[in-house]
């Protein structure tokens, strides 16, 4: 029936509205400082209405984080699959990571700014995160095996490069890069940073 489908679509749209409002608020004020009342007010519904769509406050966060990871992995995968050169793949992957962080700062915040185990990963976050990590790890491994980074353990390279891009995303999103540079050409700066952080290692 058309009605049935319509219903489902409406329901999904409502969930979306709630999630979007919550996403903004969580990122802006932190999970604890956001109240169900606040979310409800943001979408101009009654607090009780939220409970028709989500079991409780925690579930909203959980779903959001899940979404974030899913979307993130998606982009990472797409970007990396086609490229044969591991170094080029790495560059793309890094740019993807950064772009995700900058374009979806709320998701990024929700995904990475709370401790890993704190909220015990109710959804598939864990799975997605691991998947994504494995792709990344493979990528680095190829580079290391090619000798591009010189004498270095895969683990060291992995966490160093991850830290690099992760930290950069963080510094940008928290306004620290802007605050401390006079550089006018932001994109140029980013490129230079990446070039530097992926510079070849001593043989």
Rounded to a whole number of angstroms, the minimum distance from the CB of residue 116 to DNA is: 22
Which does residue 24 touch among DNA, its own copies, none (CB within 5 to 8 A, set by kind)? none
Q: Which does 174 bind (CB under 5 to 8 A by kind): DNA, its own copies, none?
A: its own copies
197 Cβ contact list (under 8 Å, min separation 6): 161, 164, 165
Residues 6+ apart with CB under 8 A from 63: 19, 54, 123
Number of Cβ within a 10 Å radius of residue 78: 11
Applying the rule CB under 8 A, the residues between 44 and 73 that interact with its own copies are none
Whole-angstrom Cα distance, residue 124 to residue 169?
Answer: 23
**154 is a site residue for DNA (CB under 7 A):** no
Q: What tokens were used for 70?
A: 């899913």
The listed partner (DNA, its own copies, none) that binds 11, CB under 5 to 8 Å by sort, is DNA
Does position 16 interact with DNA (CB under 7 A)? The reply is no
Length, in residues, of the chain:
203
Stretch that binds its own copies, among 8-16, 56-64, 83-91, 152-160 (CB under 8 A): 152-160
Asked if residue 57 binds DNA (CB under 7 A), the reply is yes
Whether the Cβ atoms of residue 73 and residue 131 lie closer than 8 Å to each other: yes
Q: Cα separations (Å) of 14 from 18, 53, 104?
A: 6, 8, 21
Kindly report the number of other CB atoms within 10 A of residue 203's CB atom: 7
Nearer to DNA (CB atom), residue 48 or residue 202? 48
Give least dist CB 45 to DNA, A: 4
Site mask for its own copies (CB under 8 A), range 163-182, x = bound? xxxxxxxxx-xxxxx-xxx-
Least distance (Å) between residue 127 CB and its own copies? 13
Rule CB under 7 A: which residues touch DNA? Answer: 3, 7, 10-11, 14, 34-38, 44-49, 51-52, 56-58
């Amino acid at each position: 029936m058309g009605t049935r489908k319509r219903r489902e679509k409406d329901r999904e749209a409502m969930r979306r509205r709630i999630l979007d409002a919550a996403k903004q608020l969580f990122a802006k004020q932190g999970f604890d400082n956001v109240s169900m009342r606040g979310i409800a007010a943001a979408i101009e519904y009654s607090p009780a209405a939220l409970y028709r769509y989500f079991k409780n406050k925690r579930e909203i966060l959980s779903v959001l984080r899940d979404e974030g990871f899913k979307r993130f992995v998606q982009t990472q995968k797409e970007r990396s699959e086609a490229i044969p050169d591991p170094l080029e793949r790495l560059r793309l992957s890094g740019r993807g990571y950064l772009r995700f962080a900058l374009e979806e700062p709320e998701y990024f915040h929700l995904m990475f700014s709370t401790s890993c185990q704190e909220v015990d990963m109710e959804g598939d976050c864990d799975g997605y995160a691991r998947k994504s990590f494995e792709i990344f790890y493979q990528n680095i491994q190829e580079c290391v095996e090619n000798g591009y980074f010189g004498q270095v353990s895969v683990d060291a390279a992995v966490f160093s490069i991850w830290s690099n891009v992760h930290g950069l995303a963080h510094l940008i999103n928290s306004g620290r890069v802007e605050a401390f540079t006079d550089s006018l050409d932001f994109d140029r700066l980013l490129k230079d940073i990446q070039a530097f952080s992926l510079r070849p290692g001593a043989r």
